[in-house]
Amino acid sequence: MTEKSLAPLILLHPDDNILVCVKQIRAGDEISIEQEIIVSPIDIGVGHKVARFALAAGDKVYRYGAPIGSMVEAVAKGHHVHMHNMKSDYIPSHTRTRQIQYRSEE
């Protein structure tokens, strides 16, 4: 099989502030985000999100051009955006070991 040189991150919509990983990224890999090379601090799996820009707590997160929740902590450009720093604006998500504590404001 020939090696494909596809970018590991894709932008789904011009208004998005996250990128989606489509090819496994390993900690230490160099990734290009908005004309800047960033060294990924951790492994990022296919389907996971990284910040396209530096985001602040309270910022809405956009994917497909639509809001999919809000940041609860700031995140640096190129870093992982997931349950540790982001929450639903509707119903809290849960994992096998815990129910995410962030409650959306009623």
Partner 1 sequence: MNSAINFSAWLRADGRKGIRNVIVVAYLVECAHHVSRMIVNRADDIDVHLIGFPGCYPNQYAYEMMRAVCTHPNVGGALLISLGCESMNREKLLSDIRASGRPAELLVIQEAGGTRSTIKSGVEAVARLQAQAAQVERVPMYLHELIVGTICGGSDGTSGITANPAVGRCFDALVAADAICIFEETGELIGCETIMADRAITPELGVEIEACVAKAEHYYRVMGFGSFAPGNADGGLTTLEEKSMGAYSKSGSSPISGLIKPGDIPPAGGLYLLDVVPDGEPRFGFPNISDNAEIIELIACGSQVILFTTGRGSVVGSAISPVIKICANPETYRRLAEDMDVNAGCILEGEATLDEVGEEILQNVIDVASGKRSISEELGHQEFILTYKAFEPIGPGCLPVRQIA
3-state SS of 19-82 is EEECCCECCCCEEEECCEEEECCCCECCCCEEECCCECCCCEEEECCEEEEEECCCECCCCEEC
The contact pattern for partner 1, residues 23-62, with x = CB under 8 A and - = no contact, is xx--------------------xxxxx-----------x-
**12 forms part of the interface with partner 1 (CB under 8 A):** yes
Beta carbon of residue 28, minimum distance to partner 1 (angstroms, whole number) = 20
**86 forms part of the interface with partner 1 (CB under 8 A):** yes
